[in-house]
Amino acid sequence: MTVDLHAPQMQEYFSIPFDNLSSLISLINYIQKNHLEILQDLVIISPDLGGGKRTEYLAKRLQERGVKTELAFGYKTREEKDKIAKTIIIGDVEGKNCLIVDDIIDTGNTLIKTAEALKEKGAKKIFAYGTHGLFADGLEKFKVFDKILVGDTIKPPEVGSIEVVSLVKLFGEAIYRTAMGQSLSVLFQEDKMSQDSLENYEI
């Protein structure tokens, strides 16, 4: 049982039952409980075109809760291999809150380039979420963000500017449902479950 695989195709290599959970419902619950201001005039950003499905999924889940959002994408240009020359933002972000969503924060270079491009286009506040927070090059360069949220799949740095979105209840509910032979689909699609039930799970 995993969460937010960088390459979902990886599941094809296993001959045992394999579930790739999504942490985005847990993210939504956390934001609605602790940071409603993020949801005002929100644009959800994918740092590259490959993350489009992730941002579309998050936007759909928010819409089911009555939160209207917009989508935008970062397009990376490169001067040489593994070195980003510039990030171009595709979408309207001027005067909007922007939440960049990714699966892994490693060195963070792509996120930072995306944030800098958002500032150039007039974004109001810039937030980031990464399921797996490695922060391989340290935290100093992340000051461009108003807030960074990370999952707890890896022990996060003990720094006040970073907030942890716990995935413990998500995994607990998934393990219970698997053990009881129940469907996991309700952990991914809210329209299959009443809002009251979802609030009880608080995944």
Residues marked active site are found at: 76
Alpha-carbon distance of 166 to 153, in angstroms, equals 8
Nearest to 44 by CA among 64, 29, 61, 30: 61
For 128-158, give the DSSP string. EEEEEE--TT-SGGGGG-SEEEEESSSPPP-
The two structure tokens encoding residue 158? 């003990």
Alpha-carbon distance of 109 to 91, in angstroms, equals 21
Alpha-carbon distance of 149 to 129, in angstroms, equals 5
Q: What is the CA radius of gyration of the chain?
A: 17
Nearest to 152 by CA among 27, 62, 56, 41: 27
